[in-house]
């Protein structure tokens, strides 16, 4: 069904809205859903595709009957940008847990990083990280990991269509990744560090695109009252 833009980042369809939200740092995806419910006075609100609290960027939020159509967004490509740091490893593959290993990285070149990133493209089988929301016997893996435990996880097929390295100023670099649903960017950065032999962790992450929807067109949390006021003016 064709969507009609009624406000920057807001699309109206029969039975509800599709909102593009730029999720702030340290907010959970459910925090955003709660705020949308509060600001727009909507009872049925949900999101299509979780972002970790430490990630920012595009979150698609649906209201009303549109909450039953999340599958239409699930299969869309996703684009991310972010930063990484070489020479360290952590259990969570980012800086949310303690550094457990430090290795020499100064001999690593930008060319080597780009070469290994290219090798991590195409169809891959990726093992979900222990610090993730994937469930084992009904319990999220991260709850098991926080107790210092690890269990065997089944690898899942993903596709990394692009893995580009931008700048590199030792020990930190920037990247852009285009991938299929279910891809853990933290795991890709971890695998990059393993391939380079020095370890690597994700230090920041931003989702910039889902399909043809872009974060540049998204609303900030602070703009939500404007959407409510606009809807009221059109009523």
d(CA 215, CA 124): 27
pTM, full prediction: 0.90
- 74 confidence band (pLDDT: 50, 70, 90): confident
Position 5 scores a pLDDT of 52
Name the catalytic one among 22, 26, 31, 52.
52
Q: Where are the domains of the chain?
A: 4-74+212-234, 78-210
Domain 4-74+212-234 identical in fold to domain 78-210: yes
Distance of CA 223 to the CA centre of its chain: 22
Residue 116 main-chain phi, psi, to 5 deg: -70, -35
CA 82 to chain CA centroid, nearest Å: 10
Tell me the C-alpha distance between 215 and 82, whole Å. 14
Whether 52 is a known active-site residue: answer yes
Nearest to 181 by CA among 151, 153, 207, 143: 207
Contact 10, 227 (CB under 8 A): yes
Q: Which class is 78-210 in CATH? A: alpha beta
147 pLDDT above the threshold of 90:
no
May I ask the CATH architecture of the domain 4-74+212-234?
Answer: 2-Layer Sandwich (3.30)
What whole-number distance in Å separates Cα of residue 205 and Cα of residue 23?
12
């Amino acid at each position: 069904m064709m969507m009609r833009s009624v406000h920057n980042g807001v699309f109206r369809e029969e039975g509800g809205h599709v909102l593009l939200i730029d999720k702030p740092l340290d907010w959970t995806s459910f925090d955003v859903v709660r705020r949308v419910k509060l600001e727009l006075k909507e009872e049925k609100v949900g999101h299509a595709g979780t972002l970790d609290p430490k990630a920012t960027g595009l979150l698609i939020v649906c209201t009303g009957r549109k909450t039953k159509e999340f599958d239409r967004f699930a299969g869309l490509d996703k684009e991310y940008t972010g930063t990484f740091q070489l020479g360290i490893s952590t259990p969570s593959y980012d800086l949310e847990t303690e550094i457990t290993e430090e290795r020499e990285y100064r001999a690593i070149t930008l060319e080597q990083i780009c070469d290994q990133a290219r090798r991590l493209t195409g169809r891959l089988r990726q093992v979900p990280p222990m610090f993730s929301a994937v469930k084992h016997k009904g319990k999220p893996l991260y709850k098991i990991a926080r107790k210092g435990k690890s269990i065997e996880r089944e690898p899942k097929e993903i596709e990394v269509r692009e893995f580009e390295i931008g700048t590199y100023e030792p020990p930190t670099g920037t990247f852009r990744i285009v991938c299929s649903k279910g891809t853990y960017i933290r795991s890709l950065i971890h695998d990059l560090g393993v391939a380079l032999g020095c370890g690597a962790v994700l230090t920041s992450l931003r989702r910039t695109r889902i399909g043809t929807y872009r974060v540049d067109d998204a609303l900030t949390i602070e703009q939500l009252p404007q959407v409510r006021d606009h809807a009221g003016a059109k009523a």
